[in-house]
Amino acid sequence: MEYWKDANEPIEAFVKLFEKGFKDPDLSGGLKKVNQLIWFDYTQDGPDCSFWVDCRGGELKTGPGKPDDEPNLTMSLSADDAHRSWSNKLNPVMAITRKKIRVKGSATGLLKLAPKLKKVAVLYVETLKELGRDDIIL
């Protein structure tokens, strides 16, 4: 991994990012419309390098690892490409077409949130600063 010291570090950052996003009315409203259990699978970088976001039933939850329930959508990519994506330096639509992101399930609802990536990137920079990782801000 280019940006991370170990496989737990990106998961801590990404879970914290989503927890921050849940507090933003615009982002949380968009996520609730997705209404899916999403697994972000970065296990190519380590067996525990993944996290989930549950947007079902009008509630928003996130946590490390694979979800207990079968995910509606699995996004598989490297933790470094996830870092680029949350930093708004990797276009998710292009990454999917170029097979940098592999999708299992329907990503249509999630891709509708792509215009909000600039807002997510701002929250992500805040998250990295809070975690003392200013060194990897893109």
pTM confidence score: 0.93
Q: Pick the more confident residue, 22 or 96.
A: 22
Identify the residue with better confidence: 109 or 137.
Answer: 137
- Is residue 1 within 8 A of residue 80, CB to CB? The reply is yes
**What is the average pLDDT across 118-127?**
95
114 falls in which pLDDT band (50, 70, 90)? confident
pLDDT at 109 over 80: no
pLDDT of residue 91: 87
- Reading the block at residue 36, the tokens are 């899916």
* Average pLDDT of the residues of the chain: 94
Give the phi and the psi of residue 41 in degrees, each rounded to 5: -100, 105
Helices (H), the chain: 8-22, 25-34, 79-86, 92-97, 108-111, 117-130
Instruction: Decide if domain 8-127 falls under CATH 3.30.1050.10.
Output: yes
Average pLDDT of the segment spanning 45-62: 95
Q: 72 phi and psi, to 5 degrees?
A: -75, -30
How is the chain split into domains, by residue range? 8-127
- Give buried/exposed letters for 21-38 (b at 16+ CB in 10 A, else e): bbebeebeebbeebebbb
